[in-house]
Amino acid sequence: MSNSTSPSPVLSVRNLRREFENGAVAVQDLSFEVCAGEVVGLLGANGAGKTTAMSIILGLMTATSGSVRVFGMDPIRDRVAILRRCNFASAYTDLPSNLYVWQNLTVFGRIYGVKDIAARIDELLSLFEITHLKNRVTGHLSAGEGTRLQLCKALLNQPSLLMLDEPTASLDPDIADKVRKILRRVQQESGLAILYTSHNMRDIEEVCDRVLFMHKGRVAAEGSPREIVERFKQASMEDVFIRIVRDGDIESAA
């Protein structure tokens, strides 16, 4: 959505740096904001630091330096208050495998203090067309089924900020198309802000209002998908991505 109606930042990242114990620097000097109701794509090559940045925003990892504010609060100090209004899904994380699908959603619903949990679970399972999986053991789900369960979990608490780390990675093209449309619809209805990573440029073009290209641990290019394609004089976001990653130098690639 345009940020012209709601310009307040729900997420603010300033000069973020994360260096690991082995000396590897995953995030060099990352700064960006996400405003209420905006869908922002975080793009970058494998290893560019996207998941690391999300982990810091979620309070799962500390930063070496720099600051993160979510709803104006600190991810470590104010973790509980932030997580009430925030959620996360990824194709690469699993919910407890030994629980039934409905049990997993009920546990998370209780953690988030969701009212009328059973009705909310039914609504979300129906939204993602996995009602038939409600009584299945979570560990027995296929990758794409598990991904859709993750998305149900992520929307349980009607978050104001949603972090999606490659949410469509395991989805077949038909389901991926449906999920993109569902996310867009939910986002437009609720004014939810989303930080979205994907290596699928169709996702990015369809879902994101604004794109941040991470390169060498910082934001190297920013704009709407259409602006970026025009600025880089390429035919598509896929071509822009390849150009940025292969050329290395953003200034000369643009």
Ligand X SMILES: Nc1ncnc2c1ncn2[C@@H]1O[C@H](COP(=O)(O)OP(=O)(O)OP(=O)(O)O)[C@@H](O)[C@H]1O
For ligand X, the closer of residues 47 and 96 by Cβ is 47
* Residue 47 or 72 with smaller CB distance to ligand X: 47
CB 32 within 8 A of CB 49: no
Contacted by 143, from Mg ion, ligand X, none: CB < 5 to 8 Å by type: none
- Minimum distance from residue 53 beta carbon to ligand X (Å): 7
Angle at 252 between CA 237 and CA 16, to 5 degrees: 75
Residue (75 or 109) nearer to ligand X, CB: 75
- The secondary structure of 172-233, three-state, reads CHHHHHHHHHHHHHHHHHHCCEEEEECCCHHHHHHHCCEEEEEECCEEEEEECHHHHHHHCC
Of residues 2, 5, 14, 24, which one binds ligand X by CB under 6 A?
24
Helix axes 143-155, 101-111, angle to 10 degrees: 30
3-state secondary structure of 146: helix
Residue 22 touches which of Mg ion, ligand X, none (Cβ within 5-8 Å per kind): ligand X
Tell me how far, at minimum, the Cβ of 19 lies from ligand X, in Å: 9
Q: Let me know: does 78 contact 50? Beta carbons within 8 Å.
A: no
For position 51 contacting Mg ion by CB under 5 A, the verdict is yes
Q: Write out the two tokens for 7.
A: 């310009």
Q: CB 50 → Mg ion: shortest distance, Å? A: 5
User: What part of residues 1-20 is at the interface with ligand X (CB under 6 A)?
Assistant: 20
Question: Maximum CA pair distance of the chain?
Answer: 55
Residues 31-60, interacting with ligand X (CB under 6 A): 44, 46-52
Is 23 a binding residue for ligand X by CB under 6 A? The answer is no
Q: How many CB atoms lie within 10 A of CB 83?
A: 18
Binding residues with Mg ion: total (CB under 5 A): 2
- Chain residues that interact with Mg ion, rule: CB under 5 A: 50-51
Q: Write out the residues near ligand X by the rule CB under 6 A.
A: 20, 22, 24, 26, 44, 46-52
